[in-house]
Amino acid sequence: MRKPYLHIAISPGKGRGIFTNKYISSATIIEIAPVIVMPQNDREYIDKTLLHDYIFEWGPKSDQCCMALGWIPIYNHSYQSNCEYLMDFDTDSMFIRTARAVSKGEELTINYNGDWNDNKKVWFDTVE
């Protein structure tokens, strides 16, 4: 499930991103997508490919990893994102929910750390 007012467009300096054609209120679920769950030791192989950038830790103990389907891999990162992602380990799915109201035309972002306002440096900001 993905809201019909979402679309993919170019985000300056980031490549593709997800944008909205209408105002979205806070706490709105805008996408639900299945995931492909893999054992953590598969990460060794995945990290050697382009898919490295699109893998999430998975499971209550983060002892697995997953590839999210749908448009979830296209949401760009922001330390103060306007959306958050939630994981449902029982149904092997992820949800994207707005963390605040989002204006028409605004890019929708998630914080790759998991919490919408977590300022801990993500891997690509620590590479010199």
What's 24's domain CATH number? 2.170.270.10
Other C-beta atoms closer than 10 Å to the C-beta of 72 total 23
Token readout for 125 is: 């900001």
Answer yes or no: is 127 within a domain.
no
Total domain count for the chain? 1
**What are φ and ψ of residue 70, in 5° steps?**
65, -150
**Closest Cα to residue 107, out of 78, 69, 87?**
78
Answer yes or no: is 124 within a domain.
no
Overall pTM > 0.95? no
What is the chain's pLDDT, residue by residue, as a tens digit (128 residues)? 999 999 999 999 999 999 999 999 999 999 999 999 999 999 889 989 988 888 999 999 999 999 999 999 999 999 889 999 999 999 999 999 999 999 999 999 998 765 555 555 545 555 55
Q: Which residues span the domain enclosing 16?
A: 6-118
